[in-house]
Amino acid sequence: MIEFNRFKLDNGLTVLHHFDAATPMAVVNTLYDVGARDESEEKTGFAHLFEHLMFGGSVNIPDFDAPLQRAGGESNAFTSNDITNYYDILPLQNLETALWLESDRMLSLAFTPKSLEVQRNVVIEEFKQRYLNQPYGDVWLELRPLAYKKHPYQWATIGKKIEHIEEATMEDVKAFFKKHYHPANAILCIAGNISLEETKRLVEKWYGDIPASLKPQRMLPKEPAQNEFRELTIERKVPNDAFYYSFKMPERRSFEYYVTDIISDALGREKSSRLYSKLKKELKLVTSINAYITGSLDEGLLIIDGKLSDGVSFEQLDEALWNVLEEIKTELMSEAETQKLLNKIRTVKEFQEQGLLNRAMNLCLYELLGDPNGVNEENALYQSITAEQIKTVSNQILKKENCSLLRVKSIKE
Buried-exposed string 211-240: b where 16+ CB fall within 10 A, e elsewhere = eebeeeeeeeeebeebeeeeeeeeebebeb
The 242-249 sheet, strands edge to edge: 230-236, 403-410, 242-249, 300-308, 286-293
In terms of CATH architecture, what is 230-410? Answer: 2-Layer Sandwich (3.30)
The better pLDDT of the pair 141, 270 is held by 141
β-pairing verdict for 84-91 and 14-19: unpaired
Strand partners, 17: 5, 190
Average pLDDT over residues 104-128: 91
Residues with Cβ within 8 Å of residue 235, at least 6 apart in sequence: 408, 409, 410, 411
Digit-coded pLDDT (tens) for 26-59: 999 999 999 999 999 999 999 999 889 898 888 8
Asked if the domains 5-207 and 230-410 are classified in one and the same CATH topology, the answer is yes
Cα separation, 267 vs 276, in Å, equals 8
> Is residue 23 within 8 Å of residue 77, measured between CB atoms?
no
> Is residue 269 within 8 Å of residue 291, measured between CB atoms?
yes
What pLDDT score does 94 carry? 98
β-pairing verdict for 5-8 and 286-293: unpaired
Digit-coded pLDDT (tens) for 225-265: 999 999 999 999 999 999 999 999 999 999 999 999 999 99
102: number of Cβ within 10 Å: 24
Residues with Cβ within 8 Å of residue 193, at least 6 apart in sequence: 19, 20, 21, 22, 23, 24, 26, 92
Q: How confident is the model at residue 139 (pLDDT cuts 50, 70, 90)?
A: very high
What pLDDT score does 413 carry? 66
Measured at the alpha carbon of residue 72, what is the angle toward residues 68 and 74, in degrees to the nearest 5? 55
Burial grade of 242 (CB within 10 A; 0-12, 13-18, 19 or more): buried
Buried-exposed string 318-353: b where 16+ CB fall within 10 A, e elsewhere = bebbeebbeebbeeebeeeebebbbeebeeeeeeeb
Cα separation, 346 vs 358, in Å, equals 15
Greatest extent of the chain over all pairs of C-alpha atoms, in Å: 66
- DSSP, collapsed to helix, strand or coil, labels residue 186 as strand
For residue 6, CA distances in Å to 18, 25, 65, 288 come to 9, 21, 28, 45
Give me the count of residues in the chain. Answer: 413
- Tell me, rounded to whole angstroms, the distance of Cα 14 from its chain centroid: 21
Of the listed ranges 143-157, 346-360, 364-378, 385-399, the one predicted with least confidence: 346-360
Phi, psi of 35 (to 5 degrees): -145, -170
Phi, psi of 167 (to 5 degrees): -100, 5
Cα separation, 63 vs 61, in Å, equals 6
What pLDDT score does 365 carry? 98
Residues with Cβ within 8 Å of residue 65, at least 6 apart in sequence: 55, 75
- What amino acid is encoded at 59 in this protein? V
Strand partners, 15: 7, 188
Phi, psi of 362 (to 5 degrees): -70, -35
What pLDDT score does 289 carry? 97
The 74-79 sheet, strands edge to edge: 5-8, 14-19, 186-192, 25-32, 84-91, 74-79
Question: Which one-letter DSSP state was computed for residue 209?
Answer: T
Digit-coded pLDDT (tens) for 192-222: 999 999 999 999 999 999 999 999 999 999 9
Q: How confident is the model at residue 403 (pLDDT cuts 50, 70, 90)?
A: very high
Of the listed ranges 20-34, 84-98, 265-279, the one predicted with least confidence: 265-279
Torsion, Cα of 196, 202, 204, 207 (10° steps):
-130
Cα separation, 254 vs 399, in Å, equals 20
The better pLDDT of the pair 202, 351 is held by 202
- DSSP, collapsed to helix, strand or coil, labels residue 159 as coil
- Domain 5-207 sits in CATH at 3.30.830.10
What pLDDT score does 272 carry? 86
Q: Residue 111 pLDDT > 90, yes or no?
A: no
What pLDDT score does 114 carry? 87
Average per-residue pLDDT for the chain = 95
Where are the chain's structural domains? 5-207, 230-410
Of the listed ranges 115-129, 279-293, 361-375, the one predicted with least confidence: 115-129
